[in-house]
Chains A and B, each alone.
Chain A
Amino acid sequence: MTAPIVRVTRCSKWYGPVLGISDISWTLTGGVIGLLGPNGAGKSTLMKLAAGLIRPSRGTVEVFGQAPADSPEARRRIGYSPEHESSYDDLTGREFVRFLAHLAGVPKQDADGAAVTALDAMGMRGAMDRKIGGYSKGMRQRTKLAATIAHDPDLLILDEPLTGVDPIARAEIIDRIRKIAATGKCVIVSSHVLYEIEALTQTILVIYRGQVLADGDLFAIRRLIDHRPHRIRIVCDQPRVLAARLGAAAHVTKVEVEGTTIAAETNNPDACYDVIGEAVTDAGVKVEELTSPDNNLGAVFEYLTSDGNRHRARITE
């Protein structure tokens, strides 16, 4: 049996009266895992516990068999990228990464080479001798990631590495994280955006209000969501024509019209979109707005939380 890299046992963390996480037990043996949850769910708290930045109020956290908050040896094998920006704006990217690589245990004479290699891997070689203060958000994120990998850690903990970056930088960062993971590193990455995690891994841990709602395969969780009707909201110029077509479809379970707005519920969103498309092409319906309130992570949480504790067990499909 593979020894766990991270083992969290009945762990709770309070910040004064505020609950960070509550009675979480979780084991990570390798690979890439995505921590999903809305802001304030407890993702960062769990990551800080694993990185050794904070201690649990109750329970235990072990990384490589040791409590990270008390073990510099365990922390030496961790690369942690915090959510917040650095305040090292007066340093160049190279100086920043070199400094942190040295503090992580890279010998002084090797630290510059390690920094250059890491910055190069993150696509920052061309800008590494410029001050961080002049970097864009995406460049800062990549520099932070370079500082995280420069000492070649066995476990990477990346807290919201894609927050605030533009789509091109986001794609680049995702690609680089995937490459790191392909080298066999264990990666924990958090986000509150489902598709960002989806691009990195299929294994997720869903946290909500400090508790684990689901732990396992992403697609299994999505299939759970597909079992319930999806809501679709359409604003168009001929709502009654479109509503009649939707009402005639077997997969549509509910249609309501209010003014120019249609609210429909369907068991098959793709087929429903086909009906809407046909109404546009055949009947000349002009759709001004088409939204699905269920098509985001918030709906996942709503679904999981509204269904009692049924889904809190590990999903193993």
Chain B
Amino acid sequence: MTTTMLDSRTAIDAIGRMSLTRLARSKALWISAALAALPVLAALLISGSTKAPATNWNMVHLTLRLTILIIPPLIVGSSLADDIGEKSAAYLWSRALPRWVIVAAKVIYLVPVIFALAAVSATLAWVIARDAAGVDVVDLGRTLVGIAATSLAASALTVMAIVLAPRFGVVIALCWLLTLDVALGGRAMGARVIATSFSIAALAEGRDVAVALVSAAVITIGCLAVALKRIDRIE
């Protein structure tokens, strides 16, 4: 039989497609879908509300922000942890491919799933609650951009946590995103490098969009750089 060295693109494609197949069969997808339904439920609750529109939209936003911070550890985190965990890493490590393609495959193929879940959720919530919340299509557009940026940044942060601590990475990522990141994310921190959730808030409210995007980009690039450097040394 003739075997050849796989080029990185083909390897990323193979690992990415397999990750999607396994995700489709996992509980993580259904739990994530259930979480993504929370903003829609919130929208249904406020649709008949007489409170101020901003208050109503904030309620939707709160659930949306929570969702977008929990789903990346569930989807990207569990998938990567499965592949580089102590009992399974040998299968991929022993193949004729550089390790960075595993990280690349997870980000390229799974982050769009996270974005899709959150985007569908946000869009449905907007359709249901736009009158009660007083938000227009521009607000929805900003929110979607914020979701995209946050999906990427939160996933990168999760990837870094998994690579640094494969066994506890999902828990660490969840704790970070739900405590430290939320605590710092809503404030105008100096560097704003860990202000992932700030992206959505800033973009949705029209506040300092550039800073939010830069913040998400810094988080993404920084975390992925650490992960790519570290994954080669995992034993």
* Residues in chain A within 8 A of chain B (CB atoms): 15, 48, 51-55, 72-73, 75-76, 78, 80, 82, 84-88, 90-91, 95, 99-100, 102-108, 110, 114, 147, 151-152
Contact = CB atoms under 8 A, between A and B. Distances in A.
Given A105-B6, A114-B1, A76 B96 contact: yes
Given A72-B96, A99-B14, A102-B14, A80 B90 contact: yes
Interface of B: 1-6, 10-11, 14-15, 18, 21-22, 25-26, 82, 85-98, 235
A141 to B, nearest CB: 14
A66 to B, nearest CB: 12
Nearest to B13: A108
Given A75-B95, A147-B91, A105 B4 contact: yes
B126 to A, nearest CB: 35
Contacts of B97: 72, 103
A258 to B, nearest CB: 46
A48 B14 CA distance: 24
A100 B3 contact: no
A215 to B, nearest CB: 25
B5 A76 contact: yes
Contacts of A95: 21
Contact of A106 (B1, B26, B88): B1
Nearest to B1: A152
Nearest to B87: A84
A281 B181 CA distance: 81
A48 B88 CA distance: 13
A69 to B, nearest CB: 9
A51 B94 contact: yes
Contacts of B22: 88, 90-91
A87 B22 CA distance: 11
Nearest to B23: A90
B231 to A, nearest CB: 13
Given A53-B235, A102-B14, 8 more contacts: A75-B95, A76-B5, A103-B14, A103-B15, A103-B96, A104-B95, A105-B5, A151-B3
Contact of A105 (B92, B96, B98): B96
Contacts of B90: 48, 51, 53, 80, 82, 84
A109 to B, nearest CB: 12
Q: Which of A53, A78, A102, A107 has the most CB of B within 10 A?
A: A102
A40 to B, nearest CB: 16
Contacts of A110: 1
Contacts of B82: 87
Contacts of B95: 75, 100, 103-104
21 contacts: A48-B90, A53-B93, A73-B96, A82-B90, A84-B86, A84-B90, A85-B87, A86-B88, A87-B82, A88-B22, A91-B21, A95-B21, A100-B95, A102-B14, A103-B96, A105-B5, A106-B3, A107-B4, A110-B1, A147-B91, A152-B3
Going nearest first, the 4 A-B pairs with the smallest beta carbon separation are A105-B3, A76-B96, A82-B90, A72-B96
Contacts of B5: 72-73, 76, 105
A146 to B, nearest CB: 12
Contacts of B26: 90
